[in-house]
Homo-oligomer: A and B are copies of this chain.
Amino acid sequence: MTQLTELNTPAALVDTARMQRNIALMQTRMNDLKVAFRPHVKTTKCLPIAKAQIEAGARGITVSTLKEAEQFFAAGITDILYAVGMAAPKLRQAAALIQKGCALKIIADSAEAASAIADYASQNDVAFEVLIEIDTDGHRSGVQPESEDLISIGRILAQAGALQGVMTHAGASYALSTPAALQAMAEQERSRCVRAAQRLREAGFICPVVSVGSTPTALNALQLDGVTEVRAGVYVFFDLVMRNVGVCHEDDIALSVLTTVIGHQAEKGWAIVDAGWMAMSRDRGTQKQSHDFGYGQVCDVNCTPLPGYVMDSANQEHGIIARMGEMDHNMTQTLPVGTLLRIMPNHACATAAQFPEYQAVQGDQVLATWPRFYGW
């Protein structure tokens, strides 16, 4: 078996024990809340990980691109929600999946999109299942739960026999950091989405599905009455942004980037490593949070954090490691040339996307290489 220390650097490592613990944590919580769980696979884009989520009890998956839908469907996963507003030119691609037997669900948040779906369905004899996207937090897409538009969209879809329910994503939860605020946001996400479903039902439409979720709200909801399923993605790896939001600890973070010290600027207290932004991504998600980790938290090869040491700046294939606060005047001794380090990412979805594959590790052993999809 390959040792961690034999890998080429940079490499994306998945700590399989932490990942399985994260999967179990979320699934247990969803079971306790009596809702179905539909993980968002955009974080990992990796079949062995999606299979682990399904084995733990997930029902179906969420995807962010139709390419993901195609790849996971080809691998045998049939119940798929494409959680980006449907654009008319993509309907042919979606219809092809449905015609092959994929139970694909799509979303819409405007009368134009709903009409385009209804028209395509009648002209091409394809049965779409559509969820109306609800805006419960003002952060991105969706129709307001109290709007007239909601009923108009519902009518277009119901008349086409395509209305399946409502869905929302409280992405604004990422900006919070206290349990009280997160609980309130989870309740806002739940209540506004349930209210949208209620209004559609009162207007005479059937609305069986009420789908909500983000990692922070999923982990903080006190009750989910009226909700049928929850979606979350980043929880499977967690990251430093989630650590600052307060929904994980550093030792829950399952993704890290293995890198080698290749040089120093001793008088500046810098070590230079062979992982730059091409490996970490340009995501600076902790920049405006309570604890800024630069481009990532530096850990030793066993993934134990070195407190205060972060990737302070990054070029394409160079990372600059420094100690925050008091400069390390002894960096050539602290982290000599050749030292292997692991860098925890700000944002797991962004860092993972920089790699064609993960190294699945247990302790200092590499268990397997797991490929991931990318592109559109």
- A113–B263 Cα distance when bound, in Å, is 8
- A353–B336 Cα distance when bound, in Å, is 31
Chain B CB within 8 A of A229 CB = no
Contacts of A317 in B (CB 8 A): 42, 64-65, 84
> What 1/0 flags go to A78-89 for Cβ under 8 Å of B?
000000111111
Binds B, one of A18-26, A96-104, A275-283, A297-305: A275-283
- A272–B140 Cα distance when bound, in Å, is 8
Binds B, one of A4-12, A51-59, A119-127, A182-190: A4-12
Binds B, one of A160-168, A204-212, A354-362: A354-362
> What 1/0 flags go to A107-149 for Cβ under 8 Å of B?
0011011000000000000000000000100001100000000
**Does the CB pair B84–A274 fall under 8 Å?**
yes
Q: Give the number of residues in A that approach B within 8 Å (Cβ atoms).
A: 57
Kindly report which residue of chain B lies nearest to residue A347, judged by CB atoms: B282
Kindly report which residue of chain B lies nearest to residue A263, judged by CB atoms: B85
Contacts of A356 in B (CB 8 A): 374-375
- A318–B113 Cα distance when bound, in Å, is 16
Chain B CB within 8 A of A262 CB = yes
Contacts of A86 in B (CB 8 A): 262
Chain B CB within 8 A of A46 CB = no
**Does the CB pair A316–B349 fall under 8 Å?**
yes
- A357–B374 Cα distance when bound, in Å, is 11
- A140–B317 Cα distance when bound, in Å, is 11
Chain B CB within 8 A of A337 CB = yes
- Can you report 15 residue pairs joining A to B where beta carbons are below 8 Å apart? A9-B376, A42-B316, A42-B317, A84-B318, A85-B263, A86-B262, A87-B338, A88-B337, A88-B338, A140-B315, A140-B318, A278-B353, A281-B281, A282-B282, A357-B375
With A85-B263, A112-B336, A278-B353 known, 4 other A-B pairs at CB within 8 A are A64-B317, A135-B265, A141-B272, A281-B282
A interface vs B, CB < 8 Å?
A: 8-11, 42, 64-65, 84-90, 93, 109-110, 112-113, 135, 140-141, 171, 260-265, 272, 274, 277-279, 281-284, 315-318, 320, 336-338, 347, 349-350, 353-357, 374-376
